[in-house]
Structure 1
């Protein structure tokens, strides 16, 4: 086990990580590996705090299951009954929208992550913008991952539970499970805590520290933090179908298993097939992904946030649970280790999952490089902007996203939206390359009509000139 984890850590160049393996009510493995930060010798331990990111969602749905047991709500209750202020842009969808829809990624709403990710406004503001967003696909007509409906589900839990979401999760789930390292924002993590630091691979392929994403508001879709020790208890609770390691039942088997029942088919496109090479079908449940793996039913979910990636996985028929935590951005090590552990503990033929997922990573990086090279080759480097740079400065608005501002100073253009800064340089006609920051190498494209700037496409958002 130690050798397998160390091989994976070195193969993916991950500074540090932690793992937990449970079978039934027993913890088989609980250990930290490597370092909390690449530039120091502080080791990762079983009490090192990692962000759970989107694995927070399964805590929200488990809380909803508790409230179902309480009789405070039902999965198919209309959302308008519990949260009338939350509306989609389609009135027909609003009439049918249920709690189940909110947590199974089938509302028709796209991702719209920039309405909450690193935003200076609060979640209530984010939820108020939803009616202004056209649906990306027909209601219940497909699958699209979106964190915003989980925020609405958290607000429903608050209304039904008569307390804040974070207090309900803490008191109804985490405290009975003795998950003592849990927090609901990064600012709640004690200054003395054994906290992992996030990293990324830079353009030169070197591992470097990544800026922390400080989440200051509890978010039912992704703000929790926990340790490997905490997650061992969480996995035992899940494997035990609602019973805590202490023997106390926290939620009925029926209500909890509903969160792990497939709700929405996830089509396996080429990218999906690369990530699930041993899988025939993948579905989203409620805070969990359900798929087959080499003849076994597997229930899992990943979490990705700045500098970190984790994976929580259950093999229900074998009473097994796995947690893999890493402090490297967008690494595929958690999936590689998880598959390796399933093979090991389920007596399946071994496969070099490190090599497989490293190739997935390398192929994706090469595709990005080739895409940029193709784009650069196709541009006209002599094509100048249609107008003087100062003419592009001003405010640009979107009904839901708000205002983006473009400024001209020191002979250069720069844009601002939310908490992001976009230094711009002329690229091809009225397209400008973003030279640094979160969106480096993407293009900001202005629309010019009849000698005037009328619009701006920035981070995929179509803004109109004020």
Structure 2
């Protein structure tokens, strides 16, 4: 272990301070550093260790895809009819198994849709609830294979199809086909988030608000659900690092960069995100739910993996990438100073916000992702990005979109009841003391009232509403008139876009 790596590991515990955490860096199967700090439970004074069990949340997705390919070499044929039956309300434009694995299906995220159906963040949400939402899916966000949008629904469906086709419990298949070969001795599938892990507590909050125990009552399978310790994930990295040496290995099959239907490279495939730390290519995934953040990533060319696990909500991805940067000598990070202006894509009810304007780049938040682009505001930036005072074209892998600068806030009031038949849900909007509030009422219940902030003409934004998963980011609400003259509110979140609620009174 180098002094730089040791300092970087110490910095993680300081910079991303919270109740506790663990980390490791593995190179060529050898553990360069392993560290645990803080408390697994602050009220009981239970110390964090490398054996402490965490829910690894969405890191589960790569296990789901590996299991799929291990069991079904030709999954498109083997599972096609079952996939069709799982989405009975969908028309002729249907995603493939590959589209699900690559987050290119166009199916909206069921956890986000649960908000629009009136679900409370801490209510029990089980597989039957998820199945009911997915069975009602009658439209897609985009044509399958043409765009990327992260969606838990894809991997929930994959795990369900695997169970149905094999007649075997998903957890048993994971133990037999993946955990045992990788020597992940304490890893297990625990679908009910209210019951795990027993020896560690996840905490919401921060130093400003204080930390408090998070409550989760959702059931996960395929999209999340695996619980594992740092030691288990170290074993997984060793297993993957060895497998990466062999062409055609299960790991290389899920780690191969994917593409869209037109051949354009895609940023995500088979439960793994492809990216860069400095100039080093990495493949990995973040996991998170209320009270937990996990990230594992592998720089295959350098043969180095990093794992970070927090029982609080600090940025585990940033922490893990700082370890990769230190271990490989690459740089990462940017400096910025805050600004804020909004741009809107009216046809798809999408909102983009320029949140900083550093000397060497502009940070744009669009569809939940942060992108750094050049500051030459009046000139084309590259083949896929352009920003000026009136128009934004952020770089997006799936396709180029135009966002027009949003005008100043208008004085029109927004009130009434708006219905979405696809979700059987109603959005109720009212004004009290000059402030606009709203609430979702649907088959899962009635949400608390939340404030709607006017951003400009016919555009509002909600606070970051909590859901059964990590909060999806603020919802944007845009008022439109349909061709038949009906007043419509288009509701969008990064993982569920352009959901229409029509005025009913």
TM-score (norm 1): 0.71
Secondary structure (helix, strand or coil) at the match of 1:262 reads: coil
Structure 1 residues 219 and 446, CA gap change in structure 2 (3 angstroms): same
Greater Cα shift, 85-94 or 303-312: 85-94
Alignment check: 8 A CA contact 2:86 2:135 kept: yes
2:65 partner SS: helix
Q: Which has the higher strand share?
A: 2
Matched, 1:336 2:318: yes
The SS at the match of 2:293 is strand
Residue 31 to residue 425, structure 1, CA distance change in 2 (3 Å)? closer
Instruction: Please list the CA deviations of residues 315-345 of structure 1 after superposition, one character each: whole Å capped at 9, or x if unmatched.
Output: 223433221112333x43x333333322333
Aligned residue for 1:85? 85
2: CA distance, partners of 1:167 / 1:363: 51
**Structure 2 equivalent of residue 45 of structure 1:** 49
Question: In the alignment, what sits opposite 2:388?
Answer: none
Deviations along 1:117-154, one digit per CA (max 9) or x if unpaired, are 75745232232122x12x32332122222221222211
Q: Kindly tell me the number of residue pairs found equivalent between the two proteins.
A: 412
Q: Tell me which residue corresponds to 2:243.
A: 241
Distance 1:160 1:64 in 2: 11
Q: 1:9, 1:15 within 8 Å by CA — same for their partners in 2?
A: no
More helix, by proportion: 1
Secondary structure of 1:317's match? coil
* Pairing partner for 1:127 from 120, 127, 134: 134
Query: 103-112 or 398-407: which moved more?
Result: 398-407
Alpha-carbon distance between aligned partners in 2 of 1:37 and 1:89, rounded to the nearest angstrom: 45
The residue matched to 2:188 in structure 1 has which SS? Answer: coil
Flag the 1:380–1:89 CA change in 2: closer, same or farther, 3 A.
same
Deviation of 1:55 (Å): 0.8
Say whether residues 1:66 and 2:66 are aligned partners. no
SS in 1 for 2:24: strand
2:384 maps to none
Q: Could you list the runs of 5+ residues in structure 1 that have no partner in the other structure?
A: 244-250, 267-280, 387-391
**One of 259, 269, 279 as aligned partner of 1:264:** 259
Root-mean-square deviation (Å):
4.5
Counterparts of 1:445 and 1:265 in 2: how far apart (Å)?
29
Asked if the contact 1:434–1:441 (Cα under 8 Å) also holds between the matched residues in 2, the reply is yes
Q: Alpha carbons of 1:364 and 1:427: their partners in 2 closer, same or farther (altered >3 Å)?
A: closer
Counterpart for residue 276 of structure 1: none
Q: Deviations over 1:158-190 (max 9, x none)?
A: 133321223311332224423314342324426
For residues 368 and 210 of structure 1, the distance between their equivalents in structure 2, rounded to whole angstroms, comes to 30
Cα drift, residue 261 of structure 1: 0.6
Please report how far the alpha carbon of residue 287 of structure 1 lies from its aligned counterpart in structure 2 after TM superposition.
0.8
Instruction: Find the residue that maps to 1:55 and give its secondary structure.
Output: helix
Aligned to 2:199: 194
Which residue number corresponds to residue 398 of structure 2?
Answer: none
8 Å CA contact 2:25, 2:34 repeated in 1: yes
Provide the TM-score with structure 2 as the length reference: 0.66
Residues 303 and 63 from structure 1, CA distance in 2 versus in 1: closer, same or farther, beyond 3 angstroms?
A: same
* Equivalence for 1:277: none
- In 2, are the aligned partners of 1:310 and 1:324 still within 8 Å (CA)? yes
Offset at residue 89 of structure 1 (A): 7.3
Per the alignment, residue 463 of structure 1 pairs with 501
Please give the alpha-carbon distance, in whole angstroms, between the structure 2 residues aligned to 1:297 and 1:427: 40
Question: Once the 2 structures are TM-superposed, how far is the Cα of residue 112 of structure 1 from its aligned partner?
Answer: 5.3
